[in-house]
Chain A
Amino acid sequence: MEMGDFLKTINTKNEVVAIEKTNDYTRLYGLSLSEEDCQIILKDKIDTLKNEERFEFGQSIIPKLIFTFCDSAYIYQENYVETIGRLVEIFYLYKNESMDLVNDEELIDIMKGYFEDICQGSLDYLEDTCLEDFARDMRRDGRVFLGGEYGRDI
């Protein structure tokens, strides 16, 4: 088996359970996911990992994204699944675009800062404009202090 193929087949066991567990917290904000929703989000994530050629080895990023974004005024039950799916996609895209110079929590915080502030809930603006600028700065200047300048204060 080619190594590339092997990395693509890594599955994420028990991930559905971990995502479902976030409901205990997100219900406070009127958000919840069914098992079917979890499967959809998970499938999107696996597709994204393949497209972005990334190998996931730690705990799933989905619960972290859910916990960070669930208090947003721009996310409600009707767009919840789709938004989380897009956020996962944007997250892995910009992990690559920033050449892994930012860690997961920093990137999620930056995404949240932009999403709430300048993007006012627009995922397209977040993806195509704000994070694009951020990634370009990262590639040009390398790892810099991330407080204040990007998104909200982190």
Chain B
Amino acid sequence: MAWVKISPDAIDSNVVEGKLDRDGCGATVCFTGTVRNRSRGRRVHHLDYETYLPLATTELNRVVLEAESRFDVRAAVQHRIGKLLPGQVSLYVAVASPHRSAAFESCYWIMEAVKTSVPVWKRESHDDGVDWIEGNDSVPAVGNRPIP
């Protein structure tokens, strides 16, 4: 049964993995996404993650349900938003499956889907200023508005 959470709460990997129904499963694959300390050759001070929470939750749930159906796995995903420092965990994906190949493949598939379809954006504060990261582009931020 799909489980997703998007919130400013710190991510506890044990809690996320605990949401998986592992009955009949012999493989669990987990992905931990952390904030890099360098990006595009610049030292990163912190990231601010913005989201459109209702749509992001719906979309993330859709992604996880599709992965569960497509790969015959059980999956749980938590995305952190708000201000994060280098080294802090921004995303955790846990997938359980009867066999390892489906667990690896679906975990990667979920990651790719999150990065292309779930409405979350990162604003990167670095040595040279502040940029929004939008898709593959980096766009200078205007002002420094608070991210809720």
Instruction: Report if A and B associate in a common complex.
Output: no
